[in-house]
Amino acid sequence: MTVLAGIFLLLFGGGGSWLLATRFASATYTRIGYAAMAISGIFAVVWAFSGSLPFGVSAVVILVIGGLFGIIGAFRKELRIDLTP
């Protein structure tokens, strides 16, 4: 189950980070949050195969840090679309 969760984090974080890089170039903090999610997924997959506790703790810590960056991006309203010409 941990492998599937890690793969989900890796794919969803990588895809979100790529989408933000192509569509919302100024969404720096939100993009960092998604990239941290992808990195956390890598650590989770390594933890699932190795069973080494530091990899699991690192995965959780990196995921929390990524969430904090996502919250900062939301408060800064980085994904706001300006429709005025």
82 inside domain: no
Rounded CA-CA distance 62/65 in Å is 5
How many domains is the chain built from? 1
Do 8 and 44 meet the contact criterion of CB atoms below 8 Å apart? no
Do 74 and 32 meet the contact criterion of CB atoms below 8 Å apart? no
Mean pLDDT in residue range 8-14 = 93
Whole-number pLDDT of residue 35: 95
Rounded CA-CA distance 12/19 in Å is 10
83 inside domain: no
27 inside domain: yes
36 inside domain: yes
11 pLDDT above the threshold of 80:
yes
Cα dist. 59→10, 22, 25, 39, 42 in Å?
11, 26, 26, 8, 8
pLDDT by residue (tens digit) across 23-49? 888 888 999 999 999 999 999 999 999
Do 66 and 32 meet the contact criterion of CB atoms below 8 Å apart? yes
pLDDT by residue (tens digit) across 42-72? 999 999 999 899 999 999 999 999 999 999 9
Q: Which domain holds residue 20?
A: 2-75
